[in-house]
A and B are shown apart, each in its own frame.
Chain A
């Protein structure tokens, strides 16, 4: 939780976004403080991913603004510079398939930060080692399991030493046995004090590690606050409906796995 007087690292100011006629985001006002671990949840199509993409200028903001480290994203003239301070990890990993894992991780170091190949590889190997995928460094992404690919993808963002890491459903494309694997990595990051913004349906994980939870529906924030508030018995009815459904699905899934 942000202390009084602390500067927010990300500030959403009355943010609005349209895809043609479709109102994807409407008047979002949120603040993310250093060392926050904010979980964003909500049904699909509620604008969670769009929200993340606004933070590093991958969407063109039409209403309001996002302020990242004091810089307005809407009026930013040097987006590349803003972007490498904000890590983004996608659901489907999106490793570059034509490069080895090592080159996936070193590309931005070499081309954005202009490090020499040797320096870049040293930093990359160190990060890959920290997340247990150093032995995959010289393989191509197609040779790795989903969980390993996601860990390499996390390394690719993390190696740039960003101030914030954003995760867009990082475990949704994984087999059940790989999910815990990646959640462990996220937990490790939280413990290291990384500021995190995570879109996920893993409510158990949210309950364990989140400092705050934002619940979205149809492009609006329906409820936000501490996880204690969120999981307490006096809930917003729409949040309740969502939680019931998620937990029901989870139970059904588990029943399938252990009949």
Chain B
């Protein structure tokens, strides 16, 4: 492989990574967070009619392999919305969002439950309304506490986004396979892919550790 070819291929891979994997992950995470927040609240709800179905959703999705979820959205969704084709990217986005929402929901639930009840009662005792207590006391602290877990899960989602190749999304693994079919340099190409992922995920996980340490300083452990 000449230097020119090397950088040409690296460029192709980086482009596919950015255009599909990064976009897919960012969109899925942004959509999953509000959905997961509702799921977490539902799961903590005193009403069984709300708590049980949300718990069921969370447990089913958390027990499923993402690969299966992606196939499921790809094949079943068009049927559910009454025929027609679902764009591959949309299918992957729905699948990943639904999957990550279930994981996020559990982190959010744990975060909300970790905030001391007495603190919320003090806030109520000063005349704040329950929604104000959530907005100013519970959620800001809970979000800070769950941030490291949410970001770690986001890194996992970023790695898992490569699974969308099985339903035909031209993301980075698919692209590598296509380039390899032309050039037949599997060791080179897949190593490049590995290094790309290593660099990104490693720096992201460093970032998570820094955030974790800052949160611990501020909240005193």
Footprint of B on A, CB under 8 Å?
A: 53, 56, 58, 79-81, 83-84, 86-88, 90, 92, 94, 96-98, 107-108, 111-112, 140-142, 153, 156-157, 160
Contact = CB atoms under 8 A, between A and B. Distances in A.
B84 to A, nearest CB: 48
A228 to B, nearest CB: 33
A98 B122 CA distance: 15
B128 A108 contact: yes
Given A84-B126, A97-B219, A111 B118 contact: no
Given A96-B123, A97-B219, A98-B218, A112 B128 contact: yes
A102 to B, nearest CB: 14
Contacts of A142: 218-220
A108 B126 contact: yes
Contact of B118 (A56, A92, A98): A92
The 10 closest A-B pairs by CB, nearest first: A84-B127, A142-B220, A108-B126, A112-B127, A88-B125, A94-B122, A80-B127, A94-B119, A94-B118, A83-B127
Contacts of A141: 220
B125 A83 contact: yes
Interface of B: 116, 118-119, 121-129, 132, 136-137, 140-141, 144, 218-220
Nearest to B127: A84
B144 A160 contact: no
B216 to A, nearest CB: 10
A54 B219 CA distance: 31
Contacts of A90: 118, 121-122
Contacts of A111: 128, 132, 136
A38 to B, nearest CB: 18
Contacts of A98: 140-141, 144, 218-219
A108 B118 contact: no
B8 to A, nearest CB: 50
A88 B128 CA distance: 13
25 contacts: A53-B121, A58-B125, A80-B124, A80-B127, A86-B125, A87-B125, A88-B122, A90-B121, A90-B122, A94-B119, A96-B119, A96-B123, A96-B136, A97-B141, A98-B218, A107-B123, A107-B126, A108-B126, A108-B127, A108-B128, A112-B128, A141-B220, A142-B218, A142-B219, A157-B125
Contact of A83 (B118, B124, B140, B141): B124
A31 B141 CA distance: 39
A188 B122 CA distance: 22
Contacts of A56: 125
B129 to A, nearest CB: 5
Contacts of B118: 90, 92, 94
A83 B144 CA distance: 29
B97 to A, nearest CB: 29
A88 B122 CA distance: 7
A244 B118 CA distance: 31
Contacts of A79: 124
B133 to A, nearest CB: 10
A92 B119 CA distance: 9
A110 B91 CA distance: 46
A214 B39 CA distance: 46
Contacts of B129: 80
Nearest to A140: B218
Given A92-B118, A98-B141, A140-B218, A112 B126 contact: yes
A72 B136 CA distance: 29
A58 B118 CA distance: 10
A156 B8 CA distance: 63
Contact of B220 (A94, A97, A108, A112): A97
A230 B46 CA distance: 45
Given A90-B121, A96-B119, 4 more contacts: A97-B219, A98-B140, A107-B128, A108-B128
